[in-house]
Amino acid sequence: MTLDQGIAFATLFVSLALFVWGRWRYDIVAIIALIIVALAGLVERDQILAGFGHPAVITVAAVLVISHALRRAGVVDIVARILAPFTKNTFTHIVGLSGIAAICSAFMNNVGAIAIMLPVALASCAERERSPAIVLMPLAFGSILGGLMTMIGTPPNIIIATYRASITGEPFGMFDFSPVGIPIALAGLVFVALIGWRLIPTERIGKKSTEELFHIQDYITEVQIAPESPLIGLTLLEAEAKTGEDVMITGLARGDGKMRHPAPWQVLRGGDYLLIRAEPTDLKPAMDDNKLELVATESGGAPHGAPENTRILEAVVTPGSRLEGRSPHFLRWRSGYALDLLGIAREGEPIRMRIKRAQIKAGDILLLQAAESSGGEILSDLGLLPLPERGLALGKPRRILLPILIFGCAIIMSAFGILPIAVAFLAAIIAFVLLDILPLRELYTNIDWPIIVLLGAMIPVGQALEETGATGLIASTLLGFTGALPAWAILALVMIITMTLSDLINNAATALVMAPIAVAIAQGLGVSIDPFLMAVAIAASCAFLTPIGHQSNTLVMGPGGYHFGDYWRMGLPLELLILVISIPLILIVFPL
């Protein structure tokens, strides 16, 4: 082993360890790896940042923008109407939701499909009085399975398609994945609808809806400022600093008696009525120290009720949200004091720690009080997906045909080789902007920048592994251990290794690491690289064992009330089924 190979191996294994550890976000890990190979001279100076201009990176970013444009155009409304007749029994409900998610995922980002289907799923569960736990994990798995069907369905497919071009000069086409991906998706959907959902623990299925998570009266108390209160003359922010970090003022009533959402600069007066959010153990000291008097009706409720210029809503923290790892204070500040956090639910249960000391995580459900003037842009900017208690944001059906036609034209141009797929999709995005289908201010807001940085940084790292001969060394070592096995068994081993990695680290990173290794193995066997690349593409997207393996899994964790260990119950037999189906399919469509 040469020194360069040793550095390349060390960079690879340290990166994988950091990906699995999860202490640092995957884009930061990727940049660290890029810096190491750059300092070691494993990548030419003019190629260090070349990954950010790679066609795969541009295509992934374009797919994310197009997904947002289609959602904004009114896809939710159309989907809700199509689904309504299929919710009468559990089987058709799961097939309807998961099937539509799979179809959407074939042509847009997986998470975009979940963002469309999650509010629809929860609303339909509430209407049928059916537990969300029954349908949400199948929905997430359906969105992942649908991504297998086309080149643009999931980032691993885009990566594998463009990597093939670097080896053979010709990428996989838009529908080259379909002969393998469609049968796998169909078999997976049948499994989750007939058998898979029955493997979810019964205690999760017992919960009817997210409405059971929060009871507003448990979070809000109404008090009145006594004439001798030290809060008189202070602004809202100054008053909250004085009452302590565990007390939040969410409403103010005076004069006409109407409770309203307070501005942070409003000055408090004697006799004002306040709605405050505080834990019971913090409420009594805050009232005593600041001369606040409890106000309640005979029934025990707050006489002024909720502020009239606010609404209460629930929202899911999406993977990559600005709020991940942040405190409730950051949420309030970042929203311009338009959002107050009243409660957090995690794994289907409200967390009992002091709310201001909690750290927000992806998959959490947040109970929010929002100023009426705050629009959906704030939620979108923060990476929050509102649940249907606030109503579905239905689009305008008359606007749906034009964006679909534009998107269809882009697919046709790329499929027939008229334009490279990245250029065709960029042309579609420009058309969306010029026709006011996508506002210019939202052009970049829904790009998953950590994924873009991950891809841009890891592509040169992958090239360093190849150019130093490290991937060839890994391949020859594996072949040394498996030399007596037939080629199909080695193909299966590549899939198993890829599936395992994808359950622990980002699927795009998995594809970037495994693609050159798979090619080196194929070349060592003297067979076609296509079946090995296709095996990596399929396996990299099959992250069904954990909620961290795929963003779709994370997104349904809170609304479904799932625990970390629930996913493998359905996911393990599904991965085994995919493995058994994939090997013969791949070898038939892409012979060795």
pLDDT at 142: 94
pLDDT tens for 163-193 read: 999 899 899 988 999 999 999 999 999 999 9
Model confidence over 327-371: pLDDT tens digits?
888 888 888 878 888 788 877 677 765 666 778 888 888 888 887
| Contact indicator for 338, 294 with CB cutoff of 8 Å | no
Task: Encode pLDDT of 489-533 as tens digits.
Answer: 999 999 999 999 888 888 888 999 899 999 999 998 999 999 999
Residue 104: what pLDDT? 87
Residue 160 reports pLDDT greater than 90:
yes
> Tokens 């049968």 identify what position?
183
Crossing angle for the helix pair 236-243 and 280-290, nearest 10 degrees?
110
Average pLDDT over residues 23-37: 90
> Side chain identity at 145, as an amino acid letter?
L
Is a pLDDT exceeding 70 seen at residue 272?
yes
Mean pLDDT, the chain, rounded, equals 84
Tokens of 96: 């309807």
Confidence of residue 298 (pLDDT cuts 50, 70, 90): very low
The Cα-based distances of 159 to 55, 129, 466 in angstroms read 9, 42, 16
| Amino acid (one-letter) located at 28 | I
pLDDT at 140 over 70: yes
Give the pLDDT confidence score for residue 497 in this predicted structure.
Answer: 93
Q: What is the pLDDT of residue 296?
A: 59
pLDDT at 498: 93
pLDDT over 90 (residue 450):
no
* All structural domains of the chain with their residue ranges: 53-207+406-455+464-589, 213-397
Q: Is the pLDDT of residue 13 over 80?
A: yes
- For residues 286 and 247, is the Cβ–Cβ distance under 8 A? yes
Euclidean distance between CA atoms 90 and 23, whole angstroms: 39
The residue written with tokens 């202490």 in the block is: 23
Is the pLDDT confidence value at 573 over 70?
yes
Per-residue pLDDT tens for 303-334?
555 566 677 788 888 887 888 888 888 888 88
Report how far apart, in Å, the C-alpha atoms of 355 and of each of 157, 289, 334, 456 are.
Answer: 41, 21, 17, 37
The pair of structure tokens assigned to 309 is: 């210029």
221, 256, 302 from 259: Cα distances, Å: 13, 9, 11
Asked whether residue 158 carries a pLDDT value surpassing 60, the answer given is yes
What's the 3-state SS for 429-480? HHHHHHCCCCCHHHCCCCCCHHHHHHHHHHHHHHHHHHHCCHHHHHHHHHHH
Q: Is 273 helix (H, G, I), strand (E, B) or coil?
A: strand
As a whole number of angstroms, the distance between CA 229 and CA 292 comes to: 7
Residue 297, pLDDT > 70, answer no
High-pLDDT (> 70) share of the chain, % = 89
Percent over 90 (pLDDT), the chain: 29
**CA–CA separation, 408 and 417 (whole Å):** 14
pLDDT at 489: 93
What pLDDT, on the 0 to 100 scale, is given for residue 31? 94
C-alpha neighbours within 13 Å on the C-beta side of residue 454: 28
Which strands form 339-346's sheet, in the order they lie side by side? 349-350, 339-346, 365-371, 310-317, 384-386
Q: How far apart are CA 50 and CA 462, in angstroms?
A: 12
Q: Is 129 helix (H, G, I), strand (E, B) or coil?
A: coil
CATH of 213-397, one of 3.30.70.1450, 3.30.450.40, 3.40.1390.10, 3.30.470.10: 3.30.70.1450
- Tell me the sheet residues that pair with 332: none
What angle is formed at CA 537 by the lines to CA 584 and CA 464, rounded to 5 degrees? Answer: 130
Whose CA is closest to 319, among 167, 543, 145? 543
Residue 255 is encoded by which pair of tokens?
Answer: 């004069």
Query: Within a 10 A sphere around the Cβ of 233, how many other Cβ atoms?
Result: 12
Q: What is the mean pLDDT of residues 276-298?
A: 74
* pLDDT above 80 (res 452): yes
Decide: helix, strand or coil at residue 89: coil
pLDDT band of residue 564 (cuts 50, 70, 90) is confident
Residue 385 pairs with which residues in a beta bridge?
316
Q: How confident is the model at residue 392, as a pLDDT? A: 41
Q: At what angle do helices 90-107 and 76-83 cross, to 10 degrees?
A: 150
What's the rounded Cα separation, in Å, for the pair 334 and 319? 18
CA separation for the pair 516, 494 (Å, rounded): 12
Q: Identity (one letter) of the amino acid at 535?
A: A
Q: How confident is the model at residue 119 (pLDDT cuts 50, 70, 90)?
A: confident
